[in-house]
Amino acid sequence: MPILWVLHVAYAWLPICLALKAAFLFAVPIPGSSWLHAFTAGAMATMIIAIMSRAALGHTGRALVAPKAAVFAYLLLTAAALTRVFGPILLPAAGGLWLVIAALSWCLAFILYLLVYAPILCRPRIDGRPG
């Protein structure tokens, strides 16, 4: 179930973040911001979209099943985080390219979320209950 595995993906970024921070502190030649991007673009952004998806569906009386477009948004966000964190580590010379790819993927993920969930959140609950 994508609405569940996306939570696990978000949590998985936490040990990645800590490992990157430790590697940087032990003088492994990686960008100093890698750990921070793993935390923000990986753990935080993924958890935000995961929780917003679940809350939007649950609070509007819908089944906790992510629409296909939302699943694509999860994948885009994961790709953005992977690109932002590991692109500069694997190929530092293309730092600007990694940044553009990650930024576009990140923005597209949240735009897609908005397009899917804005109509859900702007309509009455489907179960007829108040709220």
Q: In this predicted model, what pLDDT tens digit does every residue of 22-47 receive, in sequence order?
A: 999 999 999 999 999 999 999 999 99
Please check the confidence at residue 59 and state whether its pLDDT lies above 80. Answer: yes
Please check the confidence at residue 84 and state whether its pLDDT lies above 90. Answer: yes
- Across residues 107-111, what is the average pLDDT? 98
CA 115 – CA 30 distance, rounded (Å): 37
- Does the predicted TM-score (pTM) go above 0.85? yes
pLDDT of amino acid 8:
98
If one counts every other C-beta atom within 10 angstroms of the C-beta of residue 119, the result is 9
Q: What share of the chain is helix, strand, coil (3-state, %, to 5)?
A: 80, 0, 20
